[in-house]
Chains A and B, each alone.
Chain A
Amino acid sequence: MSETDWQLVKRPTGIPGLDALTHGGLPQHQATLVVGQAGTGKTVLGLQILAHAVEQGDGGVFVTFEESPAQVWRNADSFRWGSVLNGSDAWTAIDARPQPGAETSGEFDIEALLAAVAAAADRCRNPWVIIDGIDQLLQRQPKREIAIDQVRQINERCEQGGWTMLLTGKIDGEGIAPRHLEGSEFMLPTTVALSATLIDGRLNRQLRVAKYRGSGHVADTVPMVMNDHGIQLPYQVVPAYGPATAGTGRVSSGIERLDQVLGGGPYRGSSTLISGRPGTAKSTLAAGFARAAAERDERALYVSFDELEGPYVRNLASVGIDLQPHIDAGRIRFCGLSAWSSLVAEHVLLLQRLIEEFEPDCLVIDPVSALLKASGTEGPRAATERILDLARRRGITTVMTSLTNEDDPEGESTSSHVSTIADTWIVLDYNVRGGERNRSLSVVKSRGSAHSNQQRELLLSSDGMDLADVYEHGTEVLMGTARVQKESEERATVRRRDLERTRRRQDLARRIEQARSEMERLEVELELDEQEGEESDRLGREYTEHMQRRRETGDLAPGDATAGRDHDQRGGDE
């Protein structure tokens, strides 16, 4: 036996999610057991794989043990790929339903079945063989061991004949083997289990690769969607476009001052979560973002849950955001969805398709928290991650809004974990103070950006949106009238202080002036004093000299006699 004879070769099913789960497809030239309760999609799985094969130029055989060939054709025809099957002779349907009322007496062989399949398969290129409802036949075996042995026989025949086979069987409970065929799963290398559960009255489908001998595979139960495209596994498809790249380019949020707060605006390809209570202008902010994109001549996909386009666009126009011209020009596509109407997985599929069709540069999901209302076994977290991953890989800048509870502004977004996935988280809120509600904006986080953690006031007017500068007063941030009032109070104080300072400066200047003139006056006085002093000194010296000269001559001048007389007279008067 050469290596190529025993090596596991996988054959793609053409269902991208299933090929991802199985890392390439189902084992070629072997039988895969497909089990599930009634209505879980076993027949559709077989038909879809067959349709893909026919499309690829291969062929196949569809053996039906339960439905008539007409029912099978109708079933196929309800899907988009149905026409591939119904218009093609590359495959054969074999009606293997037992005769009505047929009974069994003893053991039987299945050689006739295999011979009939071989006769049809031999005409096909690289055939897929679907045996739909093998339990209908094998449950008639009086001994289970014989039935199980025949399952093995079928698998051996696949290897001999080069058939790649799906063998479907109905199960009653939770097991992975059809009724009466417990143990048959050990005979086949691969088992795929389909299931469906009702959650909130909605059918949630799931698929699980329960077994894949000799191959790694994803063993989780994953959500499955069945719509007109057939079976899809929305969470399994890895987009073809490579891993997410981290650009350093930034885009505008639509508000210049918010861009400044975010260090230049959100990064291109990043995701921003805007959370807040009802009426905090989340949608307005998100719409401003979309408009900014459209004004850059980019395309924005605006997905709105539970809102209609008409009223929505009108309401935005009242705060100066007119989206209509951009919608008309095809730069913004508005898509209103009803959260209740679909499963979470269906929403994910639809969003994927919208993104692939419209190829937007920006994506707005308003509110992403609506996904919480949609039913699904997987919860909204996987859905959000899936969409964000897709957007990131395509370089789409995403803005999501999230509605939070009145008393717990950060609660719901935390529970859905969107806030941990998003690159930037902006929280909008009201501040109630002085009988007013004022909208506030704060950036809770912004990866890769220096950003202000300061709460700011978000202003809405018919001119659009803006952020008001923060007004700090001690440890408080003031907004609205309180801010305006505080600002004017503060301005008055500043004015008073300025006046006071001017007055004081003038006063001091005046006093300096006074002091200076006083100094001048004193200097003059001092000079006069000095002059006076010099004069009397001079006079004194002259007198002394005069007197000495008189004494030297020996006689008294008449003036002196008079002076002596004056002296006497004075004494006489006393």
Chain B
Amino acid sequence: MNAKHARSETAVPALTLFVTGDAPRSRRARANLADALKAMGQESVTRREVDLLAHPEQTVTYSVFATPALLRTSPTGEMSVLYGDLSEQDKLRHFLADIEPASG
């Protein structure tokens, strides 16, 4: 399990949260995401955070121009994006539905 987790982290994490510094909406998104995963029992899903103010080149790479934005990458490499501070819980739950728990 540990090995698998480690491999996932070096490869593509299931969720990437793009933020811009410590902006209020970025903070809210971070909290909303944590709450939702907790409620779904998916706290162990692999995820990382990218600060686009620190790495503006990632903006173009991921084509994410609105922050915060949550990028979900499926095991097959498909990507989907949810923009916003994730305050609309229904949309967030729908976006996270059937997400594969990292622990399997």
A interface residue numbers (CB < 8 A to B): 94-99, 101-113, 115-116, 118-119, 137, 140, 142
Contacts and interface: CB of A to CB of B under 8 A. Distances in A.
Chain B CB within 10 A, most for which of A95, A105, A106, A116: A105
B20 A111 contact: yes
Contact of B82 (A97, A105, A113, A115): A105
A546 B57 CA distance: 177
B87 A106 contact: yes
A116 B59 CA distance: 6
Contacts of A99: 63, 71, 79-81
Given A115-B56, A115-B59, A116-B59, A108 B83 contact: yes
A109 B80 CA distance: 19
Contact of B91 (A105, A108, A137): A105
Contact of A102 (B53, B60, B81, B85): B81
Interface stretch (B6-14, B21-29, B41-49): B21-29
Contacts of B28: 106
B67 A112 contact: yes
Given A102-B83, A110-B66, A112-B52, 5 more contacts: A95-B60, A106-B84, A108-B25, A109-B20, A109-B23
A109 B25 contact: yes
Given A108-B25, A111-B23, A137-B65, A103 B83 contact: yes
Q: Is the interface of B mostly helix, strand, loop or mixed?
A: mixed
B90 to A, nearest CB: 8
Contacts of B25: 106-109
B102 interface: no
A115 to B, nearest CB: 4
Nearest to B26: A109
A142 B87 CA distance: 11
A223 B18 CA distance: 45
B66 A113 contact: yes
A292 B53 CA distance: 74
A105 B57 contact: no
Contacts of A119: 56-57
A152 B69 CA distance: 22
A328 B33 CA distance: 81
B84 A107 contact: yes
B9 to A, nearest CB: 23
A551 to B, nearest CB: 177
A329 to B, nearest CB: 60
A98 B95 CA distance: 16
B86 interface: yes
B64 interface: yes
B67 A109 contact: yes
User: Ordered nearest first, which 7 A-B pairs have the shortest CB separation?
Assistant: A106-B84, A106-B87, A106-B85, A111-B20, A105-B91, A113-B65, A99-B81
B65 A112 contact: yes
B92 interface: yes
A462 B71 CA distance: 86
B20 A104 contact: no
5 contacts: A98-B63, A99-B79, A106-B87, A108-B85, A113-B66
Contacts of A95: 60, 63
B87 A107 contact: yes
A250 B28 CA distance: 83
A97 B52 contact: no
B8 to A, nearest CB: 21
B14 to A, nearest CB: 16
A111 B85 CA distance: 14
B64 to A, nearest CB: 6
A105 B64 CA distance: 15
A536 to B, nearest CB: 158
B30 to A, nearest CB: 12
Contact of B92 (A94, A105, A118, A140): A105
Contact of A112 (B59, B80, B81, B82): B59
A91 to B, nearest CB: 15
Nearest to B84: A106
A65 to B, nearest CB: 8
A140 B60 contact: no
B98 interface: no
A104 B32 CA distance: 14
A94 B60 contact: yes
Contacts of A104: 82-84, 91
Given A96-B65, A99-B63, A112 B84 contact: no
Nearest to B94: A103
Nearest to B51: A112
A325 B18 CA distance: 76
Nearest to B69: A108
A140 B95 CA distance: 16
Chain A CB within 10 A, most for which of B23, B56, B92: B56
A103 B81 CA distance: 7
A107 B52 CA distance: 17
Contacts of B57: 119
B84 A110 contact: no
A108 B19 CA distance: 10
A104 B86 CA distance: 8
B20 A112 contact: yes
B65 A105 contact: no
A103 B88 CA distance: 11
B85 A112 contact: no
B84 A108 contact: yes
Nearest to A138: B66
A110 to B, nearest CB: 6
A97 to B, nearest CB: 7
